[in-house]
């Protein structure tokens, strides 16, 4: 407990943008076959530092086979909420779930170079207290720490629907299920919210048997992955509207609401449209009658390719699908970054008008049947995937792995973990920084990135930018 | 008597500057609605909730105190209750979680619950009982009925004066931040009063017990 609010808590997105820049990044390192322990890499981002752009510390966990994926903070700018203010919490712990093991680590990063495990929650405790498994997205909010889970109970996670559970933000005790009325929601992936407007939006990937051992082509072609998003009354814990994008819009994944809490819109990325292999972004918004609406505002076309160059999974299509696997919105709600993991491209859209996004910048790197090299001459395995934007919006970081078994299907025979950074131009545009290129330790892949002091996919703000 | 009314006003200011009693909500309401008129409206709702919380605590005591012969015992028990709340808040430094379930538009309800959870009304009880303790000579002449109604009036007066002072203090901070200083000062003026608050309850309780014994 502090006597004053943590200096990394900001009332509005604008204040967060004006704050000092990030000194460190924390990036997930995962062992794709479980032969090594997973960990968190601490990366030096202090400009001018001798070790800039290098892994300066690693927290390696004692277990194997956790498969780290997403993670988040114990506390963020939402702690300044005028309603449920926990202003004196410290942004100090990273909550790191293993999606394969359902084990959760709480890592103390108060001193980034001495980061260490603070607490471990064993899978049995999670199963017993929540009925959920495969914990994934973390957000800190009004009632504590919210964790979305991809699986329900039972061995294969299909015994009951998956959902969100709440964890105490001080003791890290699991409190229990979040939902009181889940409506039609039967799959889960991402979620985020607008705290003053009291709504939450959640999305769907698929059930554990549909992803754990790799993508199931029959399920994809018969449109059995998630294609709906759900709108919730956040505090009443009730699903108030389920919006089906259409069953061909397979895997509605990342939810990115506008950061400014006066705005009632956001975006959702769809991995693949099974009718034409396009990737798509939907803009969702609340209309004047309070009903949620959505419209497809970005489509990205597949690239025709000689089947001989394609992995077996894609040979029948003779094309490389864009595979929109991650999106991220800058704190000023101006630029939406879209990772096309299949094509090997990172797109930057100007979404000042959220209904009419305009492509403002693009970087080509990696990609299926392409393998575009980094401008520094080195290889970039797989394609651009988990993307994170600095608070000031000037630097965009990303890594390359999607999910162990899926990497192996879309990029068979390739191996490696990389993290790169691109600079954002004064008026948009995206250029890879030749000095920033991290090759992860052998046998480890890279996934989500968190920036010290918060970033564009962690902090929820309770006051508008004025 | 003046000192006790002074304490009522002072405790109002004290509650008002505590962000936990809601002034940041007034700032956020005005910002969210992009209309400065939302600020006084929010303050009014917060004041209403706070006033109700004060009344909810003071009224039972005002109804009890007509048991004149038990006055000392009642005042001591009240003081003990206030001290116990202070000790509870001292030991349990966790935030009241149920406040997070209140809808953001229900400011009066939120304010009522926040005041209750923090024992804000209790802090007034020893002061209020001090004001009600009329010189022993007088009590003999007054009918229980009259005494009770006068105590009820006093309870409303104490709650009103306290709430007015609270709203004034919180309102000044909210207005200054909204119009001049900006949101950056929201986090800068946010001090952790948890410890001071718990100690205040204990001190007020001790004062209540002391004045019940030696007050007159």
The reply to whether residue A235 touches residue B100, judged by beta carbons under 8 angstroms, is yes
Q: Kindly report the nearest CA distance between residue A82 and chain B, in angstroms.
A: 5
Instruction: Tell me what ipTM this predicted complex has.
Output: 0.89
Question: CB pairs under 8 A, 24+ apart, for B147-153?
Answer: B147/B65, B147/B66, B147/B68, B148/B62, B148/B63, B148/B65, B148/B66, B151/B62, B151/B63, B151/B65, B151/B66, B152/B59, B152/B62, B152/B63
Q: Which residues on chain B are in Cβ contact (under 8 Å) with A88?
A: 192, 194
Using the Cβ of A142 and the Cβ atoms of chain B, whether some distance falls under 8 Å is answered with yes
Nearest to A198 among B27, B104, B194 (CB): B104
Six token digits for residue B86: 């202070």
At A334-373, the pLDDT tens digits run 999 999 999 999 999 999 999 999 999 999 999 999 999 9
Does B138 have pLDDT greater than 70? Answer: no
Residue B142 pLDDT level (bands cut at 50, 70, 90): low
A203 is a domain residue: yes
Q: Answer yes or no: do A463 and B27 touch at CB < 8 A.
A: yes
Query: Using the beta-carbon criterion (under 8 Å), do B191 and A466 form an inter-chain contact?
Result: no
Residue range B173-201: average pLDDT?
A: 91
Kindly state the average pLDDT of the residues A380-404.
98
pLDDT for the residue numbered B212: 86
A340 vs A466, higher pLDDT: A340
Give me the pLDDT at residue B66, please: 64
The mean-pLDDT minimum among A50-54, A282-286, B142-146 falls in: B142-146
Question: Which residues of chain B from 79 to 118 reach within 8 Å of chain A, CB to CB?
Answer: 93-95, 97, 99-104, 110
**Which of A1-15, A101-115, A162-176, B156-170 shows the lowest per-residue confidence on average (mean pLDDT)?**
A1-15
CB contact under 8 A, B192 and A4: yes
Number of domains, chain B: 1
**Residues B99, A84: C-beta atoms closer than 8 Å:** yes
State how far residue A465 is from chain B, nearest Cα, in angstroms.
9
- Which sign, positive or negative, has the C-alpha torsion A364, A367, A370, A374? positive
Establish how many alpha carbons lie within 13 A of residue A459's alpha carbon, considering only the half-sphere containing its beta carbon.
Answer: 34
CA distance B101 to chain A (A): 5
Q: Is residue A55 part of a domain?
A: yes
User: Is A10 close to B187, i.e. CB distance below 8 A?
Assistant: yes
User: Where residue A304 sits, what CATH number does that domain have?
Assistant: 2.130.10.10
What does A351-404 look like in DSSP terms, one character per residue? -SSTTS-EEEEEEE-B-TTT-BPPTTS----S---SEEE-TTSSEEEEE--S-H
Q: What was the pLDDT predicted at A31?
A: 97
In chain A, what is the greatest distance between 2 CA atoms, to the nearest angstrom?
Answer: 64
Tell whether A307 is covered by a domain.
Answer: yes
Q: Is B141 on the interface with A (CB under 8 A)?
A: no
In a domain, A458, yes or no: no
Looking at beta carbons, which residues of chain A come within 8 Å of B102? 83, 235
Mean confidence (pLDDT) of chain B:
88
Residues on chain B touching A3 (C-beta within 8 angstroms): 191-192
Neighboring chain A residues of B191 at a CB cutoff of 8 Å: 3-4
Per the domain annotation, does A459 fall within a domain? Answer: no
Report how far residue A450's alpha carbon sits from residue A43's, in angstroms, rounded to the nearest whole number.
10
What value does the mean pLDDT take over residues A189-194?
98
Q: Is A170 on the interface with B (CB under 8 A)?
A: yes
pLDDT, tens digit, 9 for 90 and up, residues B6-54? 999 999 999 999 998 999 999 999 999 999 999 999 999 999 999 999 9
Indicate whether A2 belongs to any domain: no
DSSP class of residue B177 equals I
Q: What is the mean pLDDT of residues A66-78?
A: 97
**Which residue do the tokens 């939450």 mark?**
A200
Give the phi and the psi of residue A441 in degrees, each rounded to 5: -55, 145
Domain span at residue B125 reads: 2-214
Nearest neighbour of B103 by CB, restricted to A1, A198, A463: A198
Q: What is the C-alpha separation between A279 and A273, in angstroms, rounded?
A: 6
Per-residue model confidence (pLDDT) at position B68: 67
Does the beta-carbon distance from A198 to B188 stay under 8 Å? no
Q: Per-residue pLDDT averaged across A236-248, rounded?
A: 98
Residues in B closer than 8 angstroms to A263, CB to CB, are none
- Percent of chain A residues topping a pLDDT of 70: 100
Asked if the C-beta of B131 comes within 8 angstroms of chain A's C-beta atoms, the answer is no
In the prediction, which pLDDT does B194 show? 86
Q: How high is the pLDDT of residue B214? A: 82
> Which of A5, A6, A74, A82 is most worth mutating to test chain B (most B CB atoms within 10 A of its CB)?
A82
pLDDT value for B135: 46
Tell whether A264 is within 8 A of chain B (Cβ). no
- Is any Cβ of chain B less than 8 angstroms from the Cβ of A83? yes
As for how many domains chain A has, the answer is 1
Please tell me the distance from the alpha carbon of residue B177 to that of residue A322, in angstroms, as a whole number.
48
Asked, for residue A23, whether it belongs to a domain, the answer is yes
User: Tell me: the pLDDT tens digits for A201-235?
Assistant: 999 999 999 999 999 999 999 999 999 999 999 99
Model confidence at A184, pLDDT cuts 50, 70, 90, reads very high
The fraction of chain A above a pLDDT of 90, given in percent, is 97
Q: Residue A228: enclosing H or E segment and its boundaries?
A: strand A228-233
Selected for mutation to probe chain A from B36, B39, B190, B191 (highest A CB count within 10 Å) is B190
């Amino acid at each position: 407990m502090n006597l004053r609010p943590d200096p990394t808590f900001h009332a509005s997105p604008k204040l967060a943008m004006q704050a000092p820049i990030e000194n460190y990044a924390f990036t997930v390192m995962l062992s794709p076959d479980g032969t090594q322990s997973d960990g968190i890499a601490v990366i030096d981002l202090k400009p001018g530092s001798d070790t800039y752009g290098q892994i300066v510390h690693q927290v390696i966990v004692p277990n194997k086979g956790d498969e780290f994926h997403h993670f988040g903070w114990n506390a963020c700018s939402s702690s300044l909420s005028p309603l449920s203010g926990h202003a004196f919490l410290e942004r100090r712990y990273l909550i790191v779930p293993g999606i394969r093991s359902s084990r959760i680590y709480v890592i103390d990063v108060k001193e980034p170079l001495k980061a260490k495990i603070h607490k471990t929650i064993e899978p049995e405790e999670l199963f017993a207290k929540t009925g959920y498994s495969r914990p994934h997205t973390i957000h800190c909010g009004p009632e504590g720490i919210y964790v979305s889970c991809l699986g329900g109970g039972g061995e294969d996670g299909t015994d009951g629907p998956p959902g969100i559970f709440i964890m105490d933000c001080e003791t890290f005790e699991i409190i229990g299920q979040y939902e009181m009325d889940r409506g039609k929601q039967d799959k889960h992936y991402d979620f985020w919210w607008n705290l003053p407007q009291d709504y939450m939006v959640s999305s769907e990937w698929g059930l554990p048997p549909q992803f754990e051992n790799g993508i199931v082509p029959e399920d994809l072609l018969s449109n059995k992955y998630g294609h709906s998003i759900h709108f919730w009354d956040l505090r009443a814990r009730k699903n108030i509207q389920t919006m089906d994008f259409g069953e061909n819009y397979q895997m509605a994944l990342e939810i990115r609401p506008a950061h400014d809490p006066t705005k009632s819109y956001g975006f959702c990325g769809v991995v693949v449209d099974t009718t034409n292999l396009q990737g798509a972004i939907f803009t969702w918004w609340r209309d004047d009658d309070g009903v949620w609406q959505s419209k497809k505002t970005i489509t990205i076309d597949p690239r025709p390719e000689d089947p001989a160059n394609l992995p077996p999974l894609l040979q029948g299509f003779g094309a490389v699908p864009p595979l929109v696997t991650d999106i991220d919105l800058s704190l000023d709600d101006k630029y939406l970054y879209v990772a096309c993991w299949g094509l090997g491209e990172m797109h930057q859209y100007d979404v000042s008008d959220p209904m009419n996004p305009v492509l403002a910048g693009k970087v080509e790197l990696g990609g299926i049947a392409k393998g575009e090299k980094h401008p520094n001459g080195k290889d970039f395995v797989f394609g651009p995937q988990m993307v994170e934007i600095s608070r000031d919006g000037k630097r965009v970081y990303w890594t390359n792995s999607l999910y162990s078994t899926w990497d192996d299907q879309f990029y068979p025979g390739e191996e490696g973990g990389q993290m790169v950074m691109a600079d954002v131009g004064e008026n948009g545009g995206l250029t890879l920084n030749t000095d920033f290129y991290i090759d992860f330790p052998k046998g480890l892949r890279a996934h989500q990135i968190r920036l010290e002091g918060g970033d564009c996919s962690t902090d929820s703000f309770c006051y508008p930018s004025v | 008597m003046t000192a006790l009314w002074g304490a009522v006003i002072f405790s109002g200011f004290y509650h008002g500057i505590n962000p936990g009693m809601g002034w940041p909500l007034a700032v956020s309401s005005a910002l969210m609605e992009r209309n400065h008129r939302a600020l006084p409206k929010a303050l009014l709702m917060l004041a209403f909730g706070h006033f109700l919380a004060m009344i909810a605590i003071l009224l039972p005591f005002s109804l009890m105190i007509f048991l004149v012969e038990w006055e000392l015992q009642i005042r001591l028990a009240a003081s003990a209750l206030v001290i116990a709340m202070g000790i509870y808040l001292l030991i349990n430094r966790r935030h009241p979680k149920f406040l997070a379930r209140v809808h953001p538009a229900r400011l009066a309800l939120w304010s009522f619950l926040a005041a209750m959870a923090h024992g804000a009304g209790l802090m007034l009880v020893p002061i209020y009982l001090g004001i009600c303790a009329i010189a022993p000579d007088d009590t003999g002449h007054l009918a229980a009925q009259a005494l009770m109604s006068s105590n009820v009036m006093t309870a409303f007066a104490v709650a009103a004066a306290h709430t007015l002072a609270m709203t004034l203090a919180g309102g000044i901070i909210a207005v200054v931040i909204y119009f001049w200083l900006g949101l950056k000062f929201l986090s800068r003026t946010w001090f952790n009063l948890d410890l001071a608050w718990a100690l205040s309850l204990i001190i007020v309780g001790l004062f209540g017990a002391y004045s019940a014994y030696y007050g007159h």
